[in-house]
Structure formats: structure tokens, C-alpha cells
Amino acid sequence: MTFKLMIPNTEGELQQELMDDEARILAGGTDLMVQMRSGKVAPTRVVSIKKLERLKEISDLGERIRIGAAVTYSELQRSHILQEKSPILLKAIRQIGSLQIRNRGTAVGNIANASPAGDAVLAMVLSEARVEIMGPKGERHESIESFIIGPGRTTLSTGEYIRAVVIEKTDDWQSLFIKVGQRNAMCISVASIGVLRKGKEVRLAFGSVAPVVVRAHKAERFFTREGIDGTKLGEFVERCVESISPIDDVRASSWYRRQVVRGELMKIFGHPDVGGTDVT
């Protein structure tokens, strides 16, 4: 594993380094270093962003919050802005890895890694995040749902990097984040579910059950239009399950993942035969 470590002092220098197709950004390194050690990636240059102060900022933008690319999970947990205005993201962060990983890992790195099991990504999908991207052609913005196009794949092109992510404040929504895994800590999820609810509006997203984190838009519209009283609950849950496309892997079968999602949704929305957590 041989590479050059580059530490740019400005974003201009960072952009120049990234014109090399074999360069990779190092923020926290919690994903990149694992991938390099396993031989999954072999960059000729690793470009650290540790000197770029602009990328370490958390900013209150009124109705939204801007999170710089170098902000760690632990810094987000300590942020008064996040504590007051984004409970769903903090609930997701608490489920991530260990304290050591949260001290190093970044929310923007979770986006760049584009794993369908990304806990922070799921919360940001629910928060209708927009990704702030800088590149040779200037700045552009893209919704997180269109930015992540597959496992480990995004719309970034040569020379581009994620400068920040901008999320909607969701403190006026009820929020719930559930992660089902093979153990209680340090696990990659078998399935994860995030819910935001405000009156007749609901947002639902699912992780580890499709090539990307998925938002159940059709089920959300059904919820607003029909509600979930009586027989409607079962139909609503099935519309949610229709939005996922799980696979069989070493952690769980596709059948099991569907059953997990179906069962957890029945609990969340207060099915009388289950009597679980209620967000109504």
C-alpha cells in the first residue's frame, strides 16, 4: 500500500490534487483506510482536508443547517444547533459504530461512501438534504437522493468534492430511528428505518434493504391521503415494503429483511396486535 499523502492549505489546492483520477479524500478515514487495507481501493494520492477550516463549520441558515465536510459525528453530537433542530440526525449518529469511530468519522464521509447501510445518510434523506459540491466548473447543489446512485457510487466527477451538506431542520417533526442488526453495537444493519411525522404528513426511509437508502414516497402520499385507520394500516405497510428491494447476503436473507421492515412498521404505527412504539 504505497501512496502520497497530500495536505492542501486551500480549497484551490485541494481541487488541483483531485484532478488526479487516482486521488482520494481523507476526512476521518473510517471507511477509506479499511478499503485501502483490504485492497478494495488503491489510490496513488490520499488528500487530507484537515487544514481546511471552512470545511469544519456548522452553520445555522434559518430553516436549514449547513454541515462542513470535515465535521465529525462527535462534533455534531455536541452542536447546540443539531441538539435543538435535528433530533433525527442525532438519533442516527448514536447508532454509529463506537466512540472512536464517531470521533473520527464524518457525516459527509458517510455520503461519499454511499453505503446503503449508512445511518447518517438515512437521517439526511429524511431531512431532505442537499449536497454542496465544488469542482472545476464551480459550485453545484444536488439532492442527496439523486447524488447517491448505487453502492459506493455517486455523481461526483473528476476534480469534484463534497464541500458540505445542507439539511432541513426537523425539530417540529416527531422522529424515530430504528436499527436492526446482529448485535447491539458496532454492527452494520440488517435493516434500518427512519420516520418523521407531523400531523397527516409522514416521511419514511429505509437502509440496508436496497442498493441505496430509499425514501418511501408512494407510501407517504398514501398516508396523507388515506390515513392508517382500520384496514388502511396493512395497505400502508405493504406500500412501504414495495419500496424496498433487499438482497441475500451474509447478514440476512431478503425474506428476513422484508419481514423486519414489515414487523417494525406495524409496531411503529401502533398495530393493536403488536402494541409497540407509537408515533401517532
| pLDDT band for position 250 (cuts 50, 70, 90) | confident
Average pLDDT over residues 189-200: 95
Same domain, 159 and 216: no
**One domain, residues 124 and 261:** no
In a domain, 219, yes or no: yes
Position 184 pLDDT exceeds 60: no
- Check whether 247 has a pLDDT greater than 60: yes
* Separation CA 108–CA 161 (nearest Å): 10
Residue 276, in any domain of the structure: no
Percent of the chain with pLDDT over 90: 88
Do 119 and 223 have their domain in common? no
Domain boundary among 168, 193, 216: 168
Q: Which of 31, 208, 181, 196 is nearest to 123 (CA)?
A: 196
User: Quick check: is 274 in a domain?
Assistant: no
Are residues 151 and 200 both part of a single domain? no
136-to-16, 111, 160, 277 alpha-carbon distances in Å: 9, 21, 7, 48
Nearby residues of 111 by Cβ (< 8 Å), 6 or more positions away: 118, 120, 121, 124, 131, 144, 147, 148, 154, 162, 165
pTM for this predicted structure? 0.93
Q: Is the pLDDT score of 129 beyond 60?
A: yes
pLDDT tops 90 at residue 1: no
Per-residue pLDDT for 274 more than 50?
no
Whether pLDDT at 4 is above 90: yes
Picking from 119, 161, 120, 168, the residue whose alpha carbon sits closest to that of residue 143 is 168
Together in a domain, 98 and 144: yes
Domain end residue (candidates: 149, 168, 187): 168
Residue-wise pLDDT tens digits, 52-79: 999 999 999 999 999 999 999 999 999 9
Question: Average pLDDT for residues 5-29, to the nearest whole number?
Answer: 96
Q: What is the pLDDT of residues 87-119, one digit of tens each?
A: 999 999 999 988 999 999 999 999 999 999 999
Confidence of residue 270 (pLDDT cuts 50, 70, 90): confident
What range does the domain containing 255 cover? 174-268
Q: Are residues 114 and 235 in the same domain?
A: no
Query: What is the number of structural domains in the chain?
Result: 2
* 118 and 200 assigned to the same domain: no
Cell 449518529 appears where?
A: 93
Domain with residue 47: its CATH number is: 3.30.465.10
- Domain with 219 in it: what CATH number? 3.30.390.50
The reply to whether 142 and 216 lie within a common domain is: no
Better pLDDT: 32 or 278: 32
Do 131 and 14 belong to one domain?
A: yes
Q: Is the pLDDT of residue 207 over 80?
A: yes
CA dist., res. 190 & res. 188, Å (int): 7
Domain boundary residue, one of 133, 149, 168: 168
Whether residues 134 and 179 fall in one domain: no
Q: Are both 10 and 119 inside the same structural domain?
A: yes
Q: Residue 273: pLDDT band by 50, 70, 90 thresholds?
A: very low
Q: Are residues 206 and 126 part of one domain?
A: no
Question: Could you tell me if residue 273 is inside a domain?
Answer: no
Q: How confident is the model at residue 280 (pLDDT cuts 50, 70, 90)?
A: very low
